[in-house]
A and B are shown apart, each in its own frame.
Chain A
Amino acid sequence: GAGVSQTPSNKVTEKGKYVELRCDPISGHTALYWYRQSLGQGPEFLIYFQGTGAADDSGLPNDRFFAVRPEGSVSTLKIQRTERGDSAVYLCASSLNPRGTSYGELFFGEGSRLTVL
């Protein structure tokens, strides 16, 4: 597609439920990032993929959070046993960033707004 696509755009769920958020990056972009943004704050790093593998998952807050990118394109962020504190906008970004280079431009999607009641 032309840009990074995230679905759903809005998700309201109840505490304790399981949630999946999907990110479809720009075609050909090897790097994919998940960030979480709370109201009035800057994006908080969660995880970064280079191809199919998670190059850095140090930002995942706990083991309720998990992300996959099985074919090196679409990624899914999975949150188990959701808590009210998980409410935020989850942003996905992709970058044309071959391994060994740096400072690539991050192209962001519009985000998935998660509300946990």
Chain B
Amino acid sequence: TQLLEQSPQFLSIQEGENLTVYCNSSSVFSSLQWYRQEPGEGPVLLVTVVTGGEVKKLKRLTFQFGDARKDSSLHITAAQPGDTGLYLCAGEENNFNKFYFGSGTKLNVKP
């Protein structure tokens, strides 16, 4: 059972385009993380958001945590081929240090 649903599942775009990935749940999370995973490797942390409504920017990536701390979005501006990978959101329930991962969004950026 996936507590976190991500959309879209797959996204194939041209270099230079913008995109948004969504992470939704009916559960409230004490924190939410975004990871990127490349084939044959483990996920690597991009950002952690903690406060409802929080917005964080990491170069061309903008992360937002929903006001109710149930959902999040990742926006990429001017996507590059190096952005290609599986993007995963992970929510932590009740400060229990246990992280549930979403189903993932597989992004392919074509040159």
Contacts and interface: CB of A to CB of B under 8 A. Distances in A.
Chain B associates with chain A: yes
Interface of A: 4, 31, 33, 35, 40-45, 48, 50, 55-56, 91, 93, 95, 97, 102-111
A92 B39 CA distance: 16
A31 B97 contact: yes
Contacts of B96: 56, 102
Interface in B12-47: 30-31, 33, 35, 40-45
A110 B41 contact: yes
B97 A48 contact: yes
A26 B72 CA distance: 29
B42 A91 contact: yes
B41 A103 contact: no
B58 to A, nearest CB: 14
B95 A102 contact: yes
B92 interface: yes
A105 B45 contact: yes
Contacts of A35: 101
Contacts of B99: 33, 45, 106
B61 interface: no
Nearest to B3: A45
